Amino acid sequence: MNQPTEDDDFVQFVRARQGTLLRAARLYCGDPHIAEDLLQEAFVKLASRWESVRDGSPDAYVRRILYRDSVSRWRKWGRERPYAAGPGERDVFDTGPVSSGVDEWVAGAPVREALAQLPPRQRAVIVLRYFEDQSEAQIAEVLGTSAGTVKSQASKALAHLRRLMPEFVDAGMAEGGL
């Protein structure tokens, strides 16, 4: 039998993780087209470092690239607001089959608008924690910060979200969400 090569490992990783990582990129930046560009650029960067990253945590490496590139783009071009889909257009969060109740909860424009008002680091913490179900330690690794920073950013972000959309947060807490 043929031994899998590094290229095969990379291709398998990309195929297995691209959907989840694209969803995270969409939540970071709020625009599906920019998210696709961010992910493509992240995979190019990963490919150049695959040999040294593959035995560690390539998922965290790509998430860190997505986050940093999203912030860099935000700083360069200014804060962008996700748009509401028009008639006949796909929505930012429309990615196909839903695997959890979270997607149904964020189906409305108020949640997208509230996420867009968070600073990039706070948005990244919320996306990683509540949409990607990452632990505080995993988020700290992705963002290159301490677990304490993740906790404080999450606390500030949740307080901001509570002010922006109290009716949604109260409903989410009643169901065991935010």
- At how many degrees (to 10) do helices 166-174 and 147-164 cross? 120
Give the pLDDT score at 5.
65
Give CA–CA dist 168/178, Å, rounded.
Answer: 9
Question: Which range is least confidently modeled, 17-21, 79-83, 117-121?
Answer: 79-83
The answer on pLDDT for 139 being more than 50 is: yes
Map out the domains of the chain with their CATH numbers: 6-174 (1.10.10.10)
Give the pLDDT score at 170.
55
Per-residue pLDDT of 61-113, as tens digits, reads: 999 899 888 888 877 665 544 455 555 555 555 544 434 444 554 455 677 77
Q: How many CB atoms lie within 10 A of CB 117?
A: 14
pTM here?
0.56
